[in-house]
Amino acid sequence: MHDERNRIEERVQRAHDQRIKPAIYADTVPFEVEAWQAPGEPVSFEEAAAARYTPFAMDTPWGPPWGTTWFRMRGQVPAEWAGKRVEAVIDLGFIGDWPGNQAEALVHLPDGRPLKAVNPLNQYVPIANPATGGEQIDYLVEAASNPDILKDNFSKITPMGDKLTAGSEPIYTFQRADLAILDENVWHLDLDLQVLRELMVHLPEHEPRRHEILHALDRAMDALDLDDVAGSAAAVREVLAPVLAKPANASAHTISGVGHAHIDSAWLWPIRETKRKTSRTFSNVTSLADEYDDFIFACSQAQQYEWVRDNYPHVWARIQESVKKGQWAPVGGMWVEADGNLPGGEAIARQLIHGKRFFIEHFGVETKGVWLPDSFGYTAAYPQLAKLAGNDWFLTQKISWNQTNKFPHHTFWWEGIDGTRIFTHFPPVDTYNARFSGEEMDRAVRNYSEKGGGQRSLAPFGWGDGGGGPTREIMERARRLADLEGSPKVVVEHPDDFFAQARAEYPDAPVWVGELYLELHRATYTSQARTKQGNRRSEHKLREAELWATTAALHAPGYSYPYEKLDRLWKTVLLHQFHDILPGSSIAWVHREAEAEYARVAEELEALTAEAVHALGAGGTRVFNTSPFDRAEVVRTAEGAPAYVEVPANGSAPLTDAEPAQSVRTQGRVLDNGLVRVEVAEDGTLSSVVDLRVGREVLGDKGNLLRLHTDLPNYWDAWDIDKHYKNRYTDLLEPTSIEVVSEDPLLGAIRVTRAFGKGSTITQTITVRADSPRIDFETEIDWHEAEKILKAAFPVDVRAAHSSAEIQFGHIQRPTHTNTSWEAARFEVSGHRWVHVGEPGYGVAVLNDSTYGHDVSRTVREDGGTTTTVRLSLVRAPRIPDPEADQGKHRFTYSLLPGASIEDTVAEGYSLNLPLRVADAAGAPEPVVSVDGEGVTVEAVKLADDGSGDVVVRLYESGGGRATGVLRTGFPLAGAQITDLLERPLEEETAEVSDGGVAVSLRPFQVLTLRLRRG
């Protein structure tokens, strides 16, 4: 047989594109259209309905960037269309085929009910099937003219990322608003051809099935009347029916499809636009559920459900009905799909708590899995926290984006830092926006790593990132691929069903231990430093407010615990931990609003804490310690003078004139407190740090070396830092001034000021305090660089085999060598409050109060010694998608802690991030809780969320070893229960009260929640 593949494939392609697709709509009649441009921000339906509309013609420009235009569309179905399937077809002037980053609209009925949304791949609104003829159609269409931030594929700087800079010229041209007849025969023929052609081109050339399909398509084209596509469509489908009817192989891979619409809670659009995106997507999804009984849609992010509940009650009611019918599956159990590395441990717990409770309360559904397809790596604390929240499985897809190493598994057990394992799946289709194309089906089978062990994988299908969701075309593809020779089988089902079957068929799946590190997007640990600082400060202020509100509720008559305010503030912080806000990868508008929100949160939490402290009594001055460790340190009074105080963990003490064991001596550029001696060189770096307790020089080279690197990644500016950044740099070694600013015996300080680059300045106050080996670098930067990153280096004279970085409820060790490509790929990593490096018998820590990104390397000196260098990433200057990212002023502190064990480091990390509070208060209550025993660390103290008055305490083992201790309370204790994160008793775990305390025994990094009943 002659090889005629090219001829046939080209014939099919042209007939499909030029004849069949244009014939899907058999006849059209235009709507009469009027328009009204809403001033400023979006308005309610009621305001829009009462507005004055003016006539609007097709091919007319409309929509300033970030504007809202309402269109009134009126029409009548022609009488001769009776018996036909009639739809409205609307094209706002769509760009390409991605629904998420351009014009979108929500169609309303005259009474205000949202009907359905339109976007590039979902332009229709159903009217009647069949029509009776004469139906009067009256729509109000809310159209958003969101700019295309991706217009130049992230290659050009754009001012469109903020309404303050985007301008006001119209950016879209309205193309179409019609009543139309959908020719179902032609529409189904279009889908038959697409599915068969895509299957064919991805089959190997030696496969008979490929050639069978090829010649069936050729025969089908013979049956097509090019002058009467509609009249011949049924006959063409009959030719194709036999090849569509052939069943899949018995050993075919099974793909479990579930509808999905990834909606970034903010990214290339602000939060206010996401609120509208949810209503559009969810309207489409519930509409599709009405059309397809076999459709199931998985949707995460309780925050987005709440937006719909509060703003679109009709859509909310439709969601509730779909959940009851089993077609809508709440998943994920988190408030938002948060970043997987940066939120603190308690914050991740609250993500799970608030998310799961929302779904239980509003749908009677307890979600069973963590659904995080699109975060930038995942902390090794997740398995334990997920299980403690009642989850059985974990899903993500993002690790397939690795730059260097292909992750070896798709179905596996993931083991966290404490030993907890959770069943985990990466969809081998390598997308969470699948559409069941031939290429995707081929990739899923080819890619699947567990062949021979498992035989099924998951495919979330539907357009996403900016929403959109599944379409009827995707559902039709799924139906055709359910049992088709040459293709994997496709079954649409609930994710819980997929995970149950996958686990049953492969219970001994391989194990991956530790973090799921994404070898990409490493700059998300640093970009938009003020956003990250707002998160860190908010997390610690929430801890502080909860502790002192609990203290006041227990000891201050008449004080009322602020349940609702704390709940609302937590949810605000959780929202901003979304995986394109906290990582710093959103447009300028998003980060401008985030900074303002964090300022409001801080102000309100300060007020709540002050109210709680004041309720304990006025008329004296006390110092309050929110840290879980006893502290003896220097604090500044309300007048700014230093004072030395001793304060118990989670407790308070009067401000006294206690004397430290060692005072600070300041001589020139030398600070000495008897524990450490710090020498500042003429270039402003540290020339020496001597640990006087052991007579050891800490540094192996210049300490606190500030290095400015060129930072132009290959593609994703705000997301990526590529390894070549290290090759070009300038060391900041020319200070404009060095001056002693404090010679107080309690606090010695030297200030170093530098000017560099394009008008940037950095002022650092190097501070040594009495009785503390910690050296602080209080830093103020006025940053005006572009495409640069600033790092602070501490070369430490220790031979460290690994670094230890704090993560949620523990720490993780990473090798300092680069023996393999896996270690080499970790050239930038994340941590929370500290990084520790050491050798047997001696360690050094670098602490911070708002920095997450860092790198650790080591070199061997000529004298044979090893220098291990920890470098903090302080601030970046990406220009896409926010051209002004990080510009302006920053204030933060980082610290060097010589001679530190892990236990010392944990304590100092808390101290730096939870400054002592000096307040007007006279009450002296016992700490709500205290712990006898090392390693048992209190992370949260609060009242139970159910309003019972019980006290909830979250503990964890912080050193990486086993720990035992006794938890004691500052109130009469009647009983104790071990609970899950949702404060529900764990029947298999017991807590016994003995001698007024609770005995606690923890494995390494174990998290334990105790519910304490008051006597």
Residue 214 neighbours by CB under 8 Å, 6+ apart: 5, 8, 9, 200
**Secondary structure letter of residue 75 according to DSSP:** E
- Tell the residue number behind the tokens 């069903």, with chain if given: 497
CB within 8 Å of 910: residues ≥ 6 apart: 627, 628, 629, 833
Q: Which of 957, 950, 1004 is nearest to 979 (CA)?
A: 950
Taking Cα atoms as reference points, which of 344, 455, 460, 334 lies closest to residue 398?
460
Query: Rounded to an integer, what distance in angstroms lies between the CA atom of residue 154 and that of residue 717?
Result: 8
> Active site includes 863?
no
Q: Following DSSP, what letter does each residue of 396-455 receive, concatenated?
A: --GGGG-SS---S-SEEEEE-TTS-EEEEE--TT--SSB---HHHHHHHHHH-TTBTTB-
Nearest to 387 by CA among 411, 429, 416: 416
On the CB side of 374, CA atoms within 13 Å amount to 23
Q: Which of 971, 972, 974, 983 is nearest to 1008 (CA)?
A: 983
Residue pair 895/908 in contact by the 8 Å Cβ criterion: yes
d(CA 756, CA 736): 10
Contact 624, 924 (CB under 8 A): no
Length of the chain: 1015
178, 264, 339, 374: which is the annotated catalytic residue?
374
Q: Which two tokens stand for residue 780?
A: 């103020």
Q: Please give the Cα distance from 748 to 622 (Å, whole number).
A: 24
- Report the alpha-carbon distance of residue 120 to residue 99 in Å, rounded: 6
How far are the Cα atoms of 261, 363, 478, 492, 494 from residue 325, in angstroms, in the given order? 19, 11, 20, 15, 12
The CA distances from residue 647 to 114, 625, 632, 651, in Å, are 58, 6, 6, 7
935: left (phi over 0), alpha (psi -120 to 50) or beta: left
Farthest-apart Cα atoms in the chain, separation: 101
Rounded distance between C-alpha atoms, residue 459 and residue 434, angstroms: 6
**Whether residue 881 has a cis bond before it, omega within 30° of 0:** yes
Phi, psi of 10 (to 5 degrees): -70, -35
The contacts of residue 482 (CB under 8 Å, 6+ apart) are: 489, 490, 491
Q: By CB neighbour count within 10 A (0-12 exposed, 13-18 middle, 19+ buried), where does 46 fall?
A: exposed
Helix (H, G, I), strand (E, B) or coil at 619: coil
CA torsion 581→582→585→589, rounded to 10°?
40
Query: Contact at 8 Å (CB) between 617 and 601?
Result: no
Cα gap 642→638, rounded to integer Å: 10
The residues that are catalytic are 374
